[in-house]
Amino acid sequence: MFSSPVFSMAFSSSRRGAAAALVAALALGGAPLALAKTPSAPAPAAAATQKTAAPMPVPAAAELEYEVSGKVSGFGYNATGKLYWQHDGHSYQAEQRIRAPIVGTRWQKSEGRIGTAFLQPLRFEDSSRKRRNMRFDLAAGTVTAVESGQTQPVRQGGQDRLSLYFQLAAAMAGDAALRQPGKRLPIWTVATNKQELWEFEVVSLAPVTLPAGQMPAIELRRLQRNAQDDQKAHIWLSPQTGYLPVRIHFEDDGDAVDLRLARYSPRPGR
């Protein structure tokens, strides 16, 4: 099963806000206790930093169903897929399932926290390839491969191969400037065997025809890093689904898979 990448340009302002909040906290913590009198309302600056520290907006909880077609080792197949997205504004759970004849159902899961500028995965699981399972330690800034026990540092904001869809949706929904053709959206992707920067470019803004009907969509393509990089990925995001993916097309070493939205169902949050 494939999975495919995002920091918006506005994230830098969130970092500055976080730094200002830290300075304010240190200043208040170092004030002489004798000066403390009665509690008072936070100063405007403090209130502003508290707002910047709030979790970033993310797409509403939903379940998306897809018609799936593809090719593996030269053989074509058809399947069905589902993408689940659930959150309470502070933590999230995501799951991708693909059901195909003979092989049955395979799934990937990601769960973690919702940070101020990006999702913060804590756990990633793959039912078909357990060597891909990972645990993230946010405090230590590390990721551990569950099967091997190998631990390595991970960049702040790193996404697993499932959470990146929702990070991408949140970035596109939160900044209209990112939706223009030619804009590039980088994201640090994390797997047990490698970490690398994936960069997506906005290709076009145009309606896309799907089993669910015609929808306005933003098409993004993953930029290849070099001539040896034969992975190709295109993702279509629609405002009608909160910028959750309505189509995903992926090619790798001659194999291909294409997911096209058949049904979008909003779900109440946890």
What are the tens digits of pLDDT across the range 153-211? 999 999 999 999 999 999 999 999 999 999 999 999 999 889 999 999 999 999 999 99
Predicted model pTM: 0.77
pLDDT in tens, 203-236: 999 999 999 999 999 999 999 887 777 788 999 9
Domains in the chain, start-ordered, CATH in brackets? 54-266 (2.40.360)
Mapped onto helix, strand or coil, the DSSP state of residue 83 is strand
Question: pLDDT tens digits, residue range 66-88?
Answer: 999 998 888 899 999 999 999 99
Q: pLDDT, tens digit, for every residue of 99-118?
A: 888 778 899 999 999 999 99
Q: Output the six-digit token pair for 112.
A: 């973690």
pLDDT score for 129: 76
Query: Which residue has better confidence, 103 or 63?
Result: 63
Q: With cut-offs at 50, 70 and 90, classify the pLDDT of residue 52.
A: low
User: Average per-residue pLDDT in the chain?
Assistant: 82
Do the Cβ atoms of 78 and 258 come closer than 8 Å?
no
Task: Report the distance separating Cα 40 and Cα 37, nearest Å.
Answer: 9
Task: Give the pLDDT of residue 242.
Answer: 96
Q: What is the pLDDT of residue 151?
A: 96
d(C-alpha 91, C-alpha 43), whole Å: 29
What is the pLDDT, as a whole number, of residue 58? 95
Q: Return the C-alpha torsion angle 99, 103, 105, 108, nearest 10.
A: -100
Q: What is the pLDDT of residue 269?
A: 59
Q: Per-residue confidence at 254, pLDDT binned at 50, 70, 90?
A: confident
